[in-house]
Structure 1
Amino acid sequence: MSKQTRSNRNKTKNKKSTGKRVLSILLLLVLLLTAAGGYTVWKVWSDLQSTTDEMYEDVSDRDEHTARQTKPVDVNKGEDPFSVLLLGIDSDGETVEHGRSDTMMLVTVNPNSNKTSILSIPRDTYTEIIGRGTKDKINHAHAFGKASMAMDSVQNLLDVPVDYYLSVNMESMQQFVDAVGGITVVPPLSFSQEQYQFVEGEPTHMDGSKALAYTRMRKKDPNGDYGRQFRQRQIIEGAMKSVASLDSIMNYQSILSTMGNTMKTNMSFEEMQDLFSNYRGAAKTIEQNQLSGNGTMLNGVYYEIIPDQELARVRNDLNNELEL
């Protein structure tokens, strides 16, 4: 065999060896990246579950006599409409364990019509506080008996099931809006609040601080507290649409990491997974509704009295949305 032939074979052999080494290195890198990716997903998932476990607070002490006889909601298949009571708690510090719910909204989500509705409930609504046997402002229910009493009282007032609740310290809404990357709303009137200016009809992108200021103004609004409730619904709507548009689990981690002690809910981790997976389409169409009444002084205390006709209107709307 000639030296030239042997040399050519050696070169070919070396090329094959080099090719094998490159392929081995690439496979090793793929394996490492896959392992690292798997660890990252596991870590994020673990953090998500830890956060939601911290947020979880059951409502097993609810008054069974107030519940309507309907089948329990099942969000696993993404077919059942459901309701969530949103409570903005006026409390000292960051906790939401106690305090009055100065913001109350009932959100209904229907995956069949792909629609979400947000109903504002005036905080001064005069109604029965279930579990105390007295009538008072509905926002006192949370102060008396936390989420369970608030859910029971709203359920009794509106005569529809209240499946879940989410309570939040209003200060933490600022962090939540920042976590979803801010929101854009169109102010219904021009006004200034703190260091911010808002112009009627002009789409305005807001970070958390600006959004909080936007919802706090009341005295300059010709519609008073109803105007404030409308702006609160705008913020909730904007936040829901922002969450629905997120695809990465990493984004959910940044959102949930803002919650912890500042939010409480009776949604389990698995139910949150189902909601994110099965109901996000319903957040694309959001309708706003308002329970309205008349201001009245009773024994020197201001209350909002809801007429029977108004209650019938809202109950009918909710029954249709929840397919009851």
Structure 2
Amino acid sequence: MAAMSTVNGVLGPIDSADLGFTLMHEHVAVASAGFWQAWPELFGGREACIERIGGILAEAKAGGVETFVDVTTIDLGRDIRLIRDVAERSGMNIVACTGHWLDPSRSMAARTVEELTALFVKEIEQGIEGTTIKAGILKLANDDTPQLSRFGEKAARAVARAHLATGVPITTHAGAKLEIGFRQAEVFEEEGVDPGRVIIGHSDDTDSMHYLTGLMDRGYWVGLDRLPMHDPPFAVRAGTCAALIERGYADQLVLSHDYPLDIQLAPTAFRDEEWGPLNPDGIRFIQRRFLPGLRERGVGAAVCEQLTVENPRRFFEG
């Protein structure tokens, strides 16, 4: 597969050289499928939501974040027009995804691998939700049991086949404490996917070197992309990252927060009283806290730039 020099962005192709500081696993907004379209009042109204989220992204862009990879799938309430409008409001490079999370509808669960593959390829090559906005990354999520569910395996095979058909890379949501990344890797390898085109995500949910280095020794990227979630705490996540760098794995790590800028998967009180206070820095946490924490642990500035600029570019280029 030829290297990619451009990445599908919601406002058009992005030259990989222009990705800059990239957050690799984020969400503009999450809800159940159809919520944004059916109940905009829940979010304060569509225009107010665009203004609010666009303002957050504009501030992040002014602070040095250049690309925001949105991994919101159809079952996470993806509204591609909302994502487009937020990109236009903020000037942020946003890369949208196709694929699937953990909440398949009955209609989706009934689909075959071939049908799922066709949908994912269509959203990459033709556009999403009747637009010409093309997905720039494939998303897979598995974390419910030690083995992949029936639908989870179908989705994994469909994501793998869509990747092979299009060259668009893969990122995953994987239950690290159950070592789900190994199960995902088994399917990808059975389907003939190059591990170097895959990020096994949420890997910072564990400090198990057996799991982390086991994936990277097979050629996978590892996403330390739930910063600064509390279990394990930030200090443990930073220590794990520094330890992996010390062992020579800096060229296989990417960073992100997995921090929805609007979240409607839980009661409003959770968003207001728990989600925000958990990370007051939002999508600036890596810049403001995590990278300085790495520097305190002896990681040099050049390596910090590698994690946030060079590695995302290399990942997309293949």
TM-score (structure 1 length as normaliser): 0.29
Tell which structure's C-alpha radius of gyration is larger. 1
Report which structure shows greater RCO (CA 8 Å, sep ≥6).
1
Structure number having the greater strand percentage: 1
